[in-house]
Amino acid sequence: MKKNKNTDPMEKLSQFAFTMSVIGICTIGICPAFAAMGIAVPVVMKKKKVQISPQSQSRNKKALIGGVIALFLFVVDLVLVLLFKDKF
C-alpha cells in the first residue's frame, strides 16, 4: 500500500529544516550551513505567520533547537582548532 505523500510546501520545508538540523548535529557542527537551514526555515515561517499543522509546529521547534545546537558545535569546533593547531 502506498503512503499518501504530503504535497504541502510548508510541510516539506518543515521536514527539510528538521533533517538539516539533525545532519548538522550528526556532523558535530562541521558545516554551519546545516545549522543555518535548521534555524532559518522555522524563523521565517514564524515571522510570516504561516499556518501549519501542530505536527509541523513541533518539528519546527525541534529544528530550531537542533540548529542552535549544531551552530554551537561549530563554534566549539573552531575553538578546538585554534587551541590545538600548534600541537599536531
3-state helix/strand/coil string of 18-59:
HHHHHHHHHCCCCCHHHHHHHHHHHHHHHHCCCCCCHHHHHH
Reported as a pLDDT band with limits 50, 70 and 90, residue 86 is confident
pTM, to two decimals: 0.86
Dump pLDDT digits (tens) for 6-22: 778 999 999 999 999 99
